Homo-oligomer: A and B are copies of this chain.
Amino acid sequence: MAEISSDVIRGYNDIIILYLLLNDPSYGYEISKQIRLMSEDKYIIKETTLYSAFTRMEKNGFIESFVDEDLAGGKKRTYYRITPAGRDYYRAKCEEWTLTKEVIEKFIADEGRQV
């Protein structure tokens, strides 16, 4: 039951992904699972959305990739690491979120109110 539509989360995928890279590098599959876990299944990011976000953010210098070629079974895995520019971007987006939240809530009817 992925309850949150992509329309409303759009614009926050970058924040979500970067948050999960703040402490350690990670990779697509792992990030996808963590988003699902942390949101308690309320948001399940689409694979294509995630991987295209990686490509875009790497192009913008917010993350860097490196490949682990030595996984068991000759598998590969592409890790991503947040850059200083990525941290700046993350911080700016968090501030924008605070602002946006305040604005949007002015247009949300109060709990008790009839609509």
Contacts and interface: CB of A to CB of B under 8 A. Distances in A.
Interface of A: 3-5, 7-12, 15-16, 19-20, 22, 38-39, 42-43, 87, 90-91, 93-94, 96-97, 99-104, 106-109, 115
Copies of the chain in the assembly? 2
Contacts of A4: 96, 99-100, 103
A87 B19 CA distance: 35
6 contacts: A8-B96, A12-B107, A16-B104, A22-B109, A43-B103, A97-B108
B96 A39 contact: no
B100 A9 contact: yes
A115 B91 CA distance: 7
